[in-house]
Protein backbone atom coordinates (compact mmCIF):
# COMPACT_ATOMS: atom_id res chain seq x y z
CA UNK A 1 0.00 0.00 0.00
CA UNK A 2 1.03 3.57 -0.56
CA UNK A 3 2.52 5.08 2.58
CA UNK A 4 1.32 8.54 1.64
CA UNK A 5 -2.12 7.26 0.64
CA UNK A 6 -2.62 5.54 4.00
CA UNK A 7 -1.90 8.67 6.05
CA UNK A 8 -5.12 10.14 7.48
CA UNK A 9 -5.94 13.78 6.75
CA UNK A 10 -6.94 15.72 9.88
CA UNK A 11 -9.95 17.92 9.13
CA UNK A 12 -9.96 21.02 11.39
CA UNK A 13 -13.17 22.51 12.77
CA UNK A 14 -14.81 24.87 10.30
CA UNK A 15 -13.87 22.83 7.23
CA UNK A 16 -16.70 21.15 5.32
CA UNK A 17 -16.03 18.33 2.88
CA UNK A 18 -18.68 17.24 0.35
CA UNK A 19 -18.01 14.25 -1.90
CA UNK A 20 -19.91 13.18 -4.96
CA UNK A 21 -19.41 12.28 -8.59
CA UNK A 22 -15.63 12.06 -8.50
CA UNK A 23 -15.42 15.65 -7.29
CA UNK A 24 -14.67 16.68 -3.71
CA UNK A 25 -15.57 20.15 -2.48
CA UNK A 26 -13.48 21.48 0.41
CA UNK A 27 -14.82 24.65 2.01
CA UNK A 28 -13.16 26.60 4.80
CA UNK A 29 -12.41 30.10 6.10
CA UNK A 30 -9.99 30.97 3.24
CA UNK A 31 -12.22 29.82 0.39
CA UNK A 32 -13.64 26.87 -1.49
CA UNK A 33 -11.67 24.39 -3.60
CA UNK A 34 -12.71 21.51 -5.84
CA UNK A 35 -10.50 18.42 -6.15
CA UNK A 36 -11.02 15.75 -8.81
CA UNK A 37 -10.61 12.29 -7.27
CA UNK A 38 -10.48 9.13 -9.41
CA UNK A 39 -13.55 6.90 -9.08
CA UNK A 40 -11.35 4.02 -7.84
CA UNK A 41 -10.43 5.97 -4.68
CA UNK A 42 -13.08 6.02 -1.94
CA UNK A 43 -13.13 8.58 0.87
CA UNK A 44 -14.10 7.88 4.47
CA UNK A 45 -14.73 10.62 7.00
CA UNK A 46 -14.88 9.76 10.72
CA UNK A 47 -14.28 11.85 13.85
CA UNK A 48 -12.63 14.77 12.03
CA UNK A 49 -10.30 12.55 9.99
CA UNK A 50 -10.50 11.92 6.24
CA UNK A 51 -9.02 8.70 4.82
CA UNK A 52 -8.47 7.73 1.17
CA UNK A 53 -9.03 4.02 0.42
CA UNK A 54 -8.35 2.35 -2.91
CA UNK A 55 -10.36 -0.49 -4.43
CA UNK A 56 -7.55 -2.58 -5.88
CA UNK A 57 -3.81 -2.81 -6.20
CA UNK A 58 -4.01 -1.55 -9.81
CA UNK A 59 -4.74 1.98 -8.61
CA UNK A 60 -1.89 2.39 -6.15
CA UNK A 61 -0.29 5.18 -8.21
CA UNK A 62 -3.44 7.28 -7.86
CA UNK A 63 -3.82 6.56 -4.14
CA UNK A 64 -1.01 8.79 -2.89
CA UNK A 65 -1.77 11.46 -5.47
CA UNK A 66 -5.44 11.72 -4.45
CA UNK A 67 -4.53 11.89 -0.75
CA UNK A 68 -1.89 14.59 -1.35
CA UNK A 69 -4.29 16.72 -3.41
CA UNK A 70 -6.96 16.47 -0.69
CA UNK A 71 -4.45 17.28 2.07
CA UNK A 72 -3.28 20.35 0.11
CA UNK A 73 -6.89 21.49 -0.34
CA UNK A 74 -7.61 21.16 3.40
CA UNK A 75 -4.39 23.03 4.25
CA UNK A 76 -5.17 25.71 1.66
CA UNK A 77 -8.67 26.54 2.89
CA UNK A 78 -7.49 26.73 6.51
CA UNK A 79 -4.02 28.32 6.41
CA UNK A 80 -3.37 29.07 2.74
CA UNK A 81 -0.14 28.96 0.77
CA UNK A 82 2.34 31.69 -0.06
CA UNK A 83 5.41 32.20 -2.21
CA UNK A 84 7.82 35.08 -1.79
CA UNK A 85 9.82 36.65 -4.61
CA UNK A 86 12.59 39.25 -4.65
CA UNK A 87 13.33 41.77 -7.39
CA UNK A 88 17.05 42.45 -7.79
CA UNK A 89 18.38 45.21 -10.04
CA UNK A 90 18.88 48.96 -10.11
CA UNK A 91 15.56 50.65 -10.91
CA UNK A 92 13.62 47.37 -10.83
CA UNK A 93 10.42 47.66 -8.77
CA UNK A 94 6.76 46.71 -8.61
CA UNK A 95 3.53 48.24 -7.35
CA UNK A 96 -0.08 47.10 -7.12
CA UNK A 97 -2.48 49.16 -9.25
CA UNK A 98 -6.05 47.98 -8.75
CA UNK A 99 -6.38 44.40 -10.01
CA UNK A 100 -2.94 44.37 -11.65
CA UNK A 101 0.71 44.67 -10.70
CA UNK A 102 2.91 47.13 -12.59
CA UNK A 103 6.54 46.04 -12.95
CA UNK A 104 9.47 48.26 -13.96
CA UNK A 105 12.08 45.70 -15.03
CA UNK A 106 14.54 47.63 -17.16
CA UNK A 107 12.51 47.47 -20.36
CA UNK A 108 11.26 50.45 -22.37
CA UNK A 109 7.76 50.10 -20.92
CA UNK A 110 6.17 49.01 -17.62
CA UNK A 111 4.79 45.45 -17.59
CA UNK A 112 1.19 45.00 -16.38
CA UNK A 113 0.49 41.63 -14.73
CA UNK A 114 -3.22 40.97 -14.03
CA UNK A 115 -3.93 39.37 -10.62
CA UNK A 116 -5.94 36.15 -11.09
CA UNK A 117 -9.12 35.40 -9.13
CA UNK A 118 -8.36 33.74 -5.78
CA UNK A 119 -4.81 35.14 -5.52
CA UNK A 120 -3.61 38.01 -3.33
CA UNK A 121 -0.38 39.83 -4.16
CA UNK A 122 1.22 42.21 -1.69
CA UNK A 123 4.40 44.20 -2.26
CA UNK A 124 6.75 45.28 0.49
CA UNK A 125 9.51 47.84 -0.11
CA UNK A 126 8.83 47.77 -3.91
CA UNK A 127 11.20 44.81 -4.32
CA UNK A 128 9.65 42.02 -2.21
CA UNK A 129 6.51 40.31 -3.57
CA UNK A 130 4.29 37.94 -1.58
CA UNK A 131 1.88 35.77 -3.61
CA UNK A 132 -0.73 34.03 -1.45
CA UNK A 133 -3.93 32.04 -1.91
CA UNK A 134 -5.77 28.84 -1.07
CA UNK A 135 -4.83 26.76 -4.13
CA UNK A 136 -1.21 25.53 -3.94
CA UNK A 137 -0.92 24.91 -7.68
CA UNK A 138 -2.31 28.33 -8.59
CA UNK A 139 0.00 30.15 -6.14
CA UNK A 140 3.03 28.33 -7.58
CA UNK A 141 1.96 29.00 -11.16
CA UNK A 142 1.43 32.73 -10.55
CA UNK A 143 4.83 32.96 -8.83
CA UNK A 144 6.43 31.18 -11.81
CA UNK A 145 4.66 33.50 -14.26
CA UNK A 146 5.91 36.57 -12.36
CA UNK A 147 9.45 35.13 -12.27
CA UNK A 148 9.32 34.53 -16.04
CA UNK A 149 8.79 38.27 -16.68
CA UNK A 150 12.51 38.76 -15.93
CA UNK A 151 14.27 35.51 -14.95
CA UNK A 152 17.48 35.92 -12.94
CA UNK A 153 20.52 36.54 -15.12
CA UNK A 154 23.48 34.22 -14.37
CA UNK A 155 26.03 36.92 -15.24
CA UNK A 156 24.77 40.05 -13.47
CA UNK A 157 22.42 38.32 -10.97
CA UNK A 158 19.59 40.74 -11.87
CA UNK A 159 15.93 39.76 -12.25
CA UNK A 160 13.06 38.28 -10.25
CA UNK A 161 13.90 35.28 -8.08
CA UNK A 162 12.18 33.17 -5.46
CA UNK A 163 13.27 34.26 -1.98
CA UNK A 164 16.17 32.05 -0.91
CA UNK A 165 16.91 30.83 -4.46
CA UNK A 166 20.63 30.38 -5.00
CA UNK A 167 22.07 31.23 -8.38
CA UNK A 168 25.34 30.09 -9.89
CA UNK A 169 27.25 33.16 -10.98
CA UNK A 170 29.02 32.84 -14.32
CA UNK A 171 32.30 34.61 -14.98
CA UNK A 172 31.61 36.00 -18.45
CA UNK A 173 34.10 36.70 -21.28
CA UNK A 174 36.48 38.94 -19.33
CA UNK A 175 36.66 36.49 -16.43
CA UNK A 176 37.38 33.56 -18.74
CA UNK A 177 40.23 35.43 -20.54
CA UNK A 178 41.79 36.53 -17.27
CA UNK A 179 41.65 32.97 -15.93
CA UNK A 180 43.20 31.49 -19.11
CA UNK A 181 46.08 34.00 -19.25
CA UNK A 182 47.17 33.38 -15.69
**Which domains are seen in the chain, by residue range?**
3-78 (3.90.930.12), 81-166 (3.90.930.12)
Q: Is the predicted pLDDT of residue 179 greater than 80, yes or no?
A: no
C-alpha distances (whole Å) from 114 to each of 102, 121, 178 are 9, 10, 45
Name the pTM for this structure.
Answer: 0.83
Could you report the per-residue pLDDT of 13-68, keeping only the tens digit for each? Answer: 888 888 887 888 899 898 898 988 888 888 888 888 888 888 777 777 788 888 89
DSSP 59: G
Could you report the per-residue pLDDT of 68-88, keeping only the tens digit for each? Answer: 998 999 999 999 999 999 998
Instruction: Determine the angle formed by the axes of helices 136-147 and 60-78, rounding to 10 degrees.
Output: 80
Amino acid sequence: MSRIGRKPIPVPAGVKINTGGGKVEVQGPKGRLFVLVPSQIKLEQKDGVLTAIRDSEEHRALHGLARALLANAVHGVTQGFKKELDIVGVGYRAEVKGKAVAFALGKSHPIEFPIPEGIQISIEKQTHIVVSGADKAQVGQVAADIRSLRPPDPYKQKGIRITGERLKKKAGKAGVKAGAAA
